[in-house]
Amino acid sequence: MKFGVVVVVTACVAVLIVLWGYPLGFRARQTMPVGVLISLVVIQLLAHGMTAPLREMTAAARAMARGDYSRRVRATSRDEVGELAQAFNRMAADLAEVDRQRREFVANVSHELRTPISALRAVLENVADGVTPATPDVLESALDQTERLGRLVTQLLDLSRVEAGAAPLVLDELDVAAFIGDVAAEAAAGHPDAVFEADVAPGLRATADRDRLHQVVANLLDNAAKHGPAGRPVTVTARPGAGPGGLVIEVADEGPGIPPEERARVFERFSRGSASGRAGTPGGGTGLGLAIANWATELHGGDITVLDTAKGCRIRVVLPGPPR
C-alpha cells in the first residue's frame, strides 16, 4: 500500500513539474531532470518515515543483545510494518518476563543451596574441631541438610526434563491405596512434624505413569506440609475418575491458602506465592514443585486446579485415564 502511494506521488510530482514549466517557456527536457530530482527528495522523505519503525527495531534489538529488554517500538500504522512492530513488542515483553524469572530463579536456588550448605558446614566444622561430639543427633542433622540438597537437585533435574520434553509416559495399572501410602510415608520422613492422612476409595485402581504420578503427589504433599501448621493434618483423597482408569486426587492443608489473584500463575515455573512457608520466606521454596506437578499432570492429559475452600488450600488433580 505504502509503496503504491510512493509511486503515485512520485509520478504526480514529475508531471506537475513538467506542466509547470510549459507556461514559463521551459521544455520537457529541462524540467524533467528537476522533476526527477524533486521526486527523489519526496521518495527519500516518505521512505524515511516508512522505515522509522524498522530502525527502531534495529536499535531495540541491539539494546536487547546488551541485556536491556525495556525498549519498545512505536506501532502507529496498521499495515505489515505495524503488525511487525506489535509482534516485536510482544516478543520483547516475553523476553523481559523470561529474564525476570531467570533472575528470580537464580536468586531462589542460590538461597536454597546456601542455607543447607551453611548448616552442613557448621555441623561438620564443629565435629572436626571437637566442639560437638559426633552423636547420632548431630549426624542426623547433617543428613537432613544433605537430603534437602538432594531434593533440590532432583527438582532441577525434573525441570531440565520439562525443558527438553524428554519424558515419555510409561502407563501401568496402579493400586492407588498402596501408591498413596508409599508417597505419604516418604513425605512423612521428610516432614516429621507434619501429619499425613489418606482417604482412598476401597479397591481403587488407576492407569498412570508411576514415576510421573509420584512427582505430582509428592510435590503436592511437600507443598502442603511446608505451608500447613505443624501438627495439623495434610489430607490426600483419591476417587475414581470419569472414565476407565481415571483418577481424581485432592490434597488439602490448613495453611494460609492461595489468594484467588495468584491461582492463575501458581503453577508457573519459578512462581512463589506471597503466602509464607514455615521458614518465613515467601512461598517457602524454589517455586518448582507445583510447576513440576502441573507438567506431569499435563503429560497424562489431565488438569490440576486450586479449589475454593473456606480454610487452607485444596488442590485437585484429574487424570482422564488411558486413551481408548
**Domain assignments of the chain as residue spans, ordered by start:** 2-94, 103-164, 172-319
Confidence (pLDDT) at 31: 64
What does each of the 324 residues of the chain score in pLDDT, given as a tens digit?
555 566 666 667 666 766 666 666 666 566 667 666 776 776 777 666 667 777 888 888 888 888 888 888 877 667 777 788 888 888 888 888 888 877 877 776 776 677 678 878 888 888 888 888 888 888 887 887 787 788 778 767 776 766 666 567 889 999 999 999 999 998 888 788 889 999 999 999 999 999 889 989 998 998 899 888 888 899 999 999 888 889 999 999 988 888 888 887 888 766 666 554 443 344 455 567 888 888 889 889 999 999 988 888 999 999 998 866
Query: CA–CA separation, 28 vs 147, rounded Å?
Result: 91
For residue 205, the SS3 value is: strand
Question: In the CATH hierarchy, which top-level class contains the domain 172-319?
Answer: alpha beta
Confidence (pLDDT) at 148: 73
Confidence (pLDDT) at 205: 94
**The amino acid at 102:** R
List the CATH code of the domain at 103-164: 1.10.287.130
Query: CA–CA separation, 107 vs 146, rounded Å?
Result: 20
Confidence (pLDDT) at 276: 47
Which three cell numbers mark 323? Answer: 486413551
Buried b or exposed e, range 254-284, using 16+ CB within 10 angstroms: bbbbbeeeebeebbebbbbbebebbeeeebb
Confidence (pLDDT) at 292: 82
Q: What is the pTM of this model?
A: 0.59
Largest Cα span, the chain = 113
Which three cell numbers mark 255? Answer: 495453611
Torsion angle of C-alpha atoms 179, 181, 184, 185, degrees rounded to 10? -110
Which three cell numbers mark 250? Answer: 485432592
Which letter does DSSP use for residue 257 in this model? -
Beta-bridge partner residues of 311: none
Confidence (pLDDT) at 3: 55
Query: CA–CA separation, 207 vs 174, rounded Å?
Result: 6
